[in-house]
């Protein structure tokens, strides 16, 4: 499945599907917005840099965007992978506290801040939609904090793969069975910077999952989940029993 927001208009927008997508579990709200424009980004092209003044928020239409912070010694911590349907910049006041980088070819819809402020004043439904989105982001942040602080390398990677699968709806909720593959456009180094691991540790963990027949590495950017139940057990702390 391509990482694309399903919308009838992905050019310069007037009828704006704010949080709507047939493949994303977000609130479906439609509004008419002027002055928005879509921007095509190449891999590793930045949308904004840490410290820059915020003028827009950004809706991901296609591709995946990573937001990250650099430490003084050059280490990088990726805090978010934003997929189609995600809005970037709602947590910013005044200036960006992170940098935003396209991890593959991406299309980003740029929405002026003043448009958001007008909608929040004039459209109660839009404010409710933003509250719903913010609650989901807080839940993801709590899960990421737990993963970074307490989980082993295998548990972190399993949690990451499950999150990607949920976002791609690779797991059928009614049966618990996985589809053929999930797309992972991030490089191993980017996954490592998100999980707080080294590239070597990420690669070893992928190999362990493959040898244990939990996953199949179809390509560098594609993974087939062979056993979703074992993957969930690993994510929840039963890695020793599930990888042997």
Identify the band that residue 147 occupies on the pLDDT scale cut at 50, 70 and 90: low
Q: What pTM was computed for the model?
A: 0.74
- Per residue in 28-61, pLDDT (tens digit) is 334 445 566 788 999 999 999 999 998 888 888 8
Q: What is the pLDDT of residue 10?
A: 31
When comparing pLDDT for 113 and 42, which is higher? 42
Identify the band that residue 234 occupies on the pLDDT scale cut at 50, 70 and 90: very high
Q: Which domains does the chain have, with CATH numbers?
A: 15-144 (2.60.120.10), 151-242 (1.10.10.10)
Quick one: average pLDDT of 80-90? 83
- Per residue in 196-230, pLDDT (tens digit) is 899 999 999 999 999 999 999 988 789 999 998 99
Q: What is the pLDDT of residue 57?
A: 83
Q: What is the pLDDT of residue 236?
A: 87
- Mean pLDDT estimate for the chain: 76
Q: What is the pLDDT of residue 160?
A: 92
Q: What is the pLDDT of residue 38?
A: 83
Q: Minimum mean pLDDT among 19-23, 77-81, 118-122, 181-185: which range? A: 19-23
- CA 46/CA 205 separation, integer angstroms: 30
Identify the band that residue 106 occupies on the pLDDT scale cut at 50, 70 and 90: very high
> 230: exposed, middle or buried (C-beta count within 10 Å: 0-12, 13-18, 19+)?
buried
């Amino acid at each position: 499945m391509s990482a694309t927001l399903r919308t009838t208009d992905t050019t310069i927008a007037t009828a704006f599907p704010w949080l709507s997508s047939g493949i994303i579990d977000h609130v479906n709200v439609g509004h008419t917005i002027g002055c928005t424009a879509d921007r095509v980004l190449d891999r590793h092209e930045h949308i904004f840099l840490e410290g820059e003044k915020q003028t827009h928020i950004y809706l991901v239409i296609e591709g995946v965007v990573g937001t990250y912070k650099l430490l003084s010694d050059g280490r990088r911590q990726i805090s978010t992978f934003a997929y189609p349907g995600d809005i970037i910049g709602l947590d910013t006041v005044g200036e960006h506290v992170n940098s935003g980088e396209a991890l593959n070819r991406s299309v980003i819809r740029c929405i002026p801040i003043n448009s958001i402020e007008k909608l929040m004043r004039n459209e109660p439904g839009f404010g409710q939609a933003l509250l719903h989105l913010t609650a989901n982001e807080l839940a993801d942040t709590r899960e990421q904090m737990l993963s970074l602080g307490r989980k082993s390398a295998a548990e972190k990677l399993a949690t990451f793969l499950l999150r990607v699968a949920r976002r791609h709806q690779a797991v059928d909720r009614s049966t618990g069975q996985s589809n053929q593959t999930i797309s992972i456009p991030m490089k191993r180094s980017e996954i490592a910077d998100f999980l707080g691991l080294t590239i070597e540790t990420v690669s070893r963990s992928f190999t362990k999952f493959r040898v244990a027949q939990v996953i199949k590495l179809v390509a560098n950017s594609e993974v087939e989940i062979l056993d979703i139940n074992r993957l969930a057990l690993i994510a929840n702390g039963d890695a020793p029993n599930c990888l042997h």
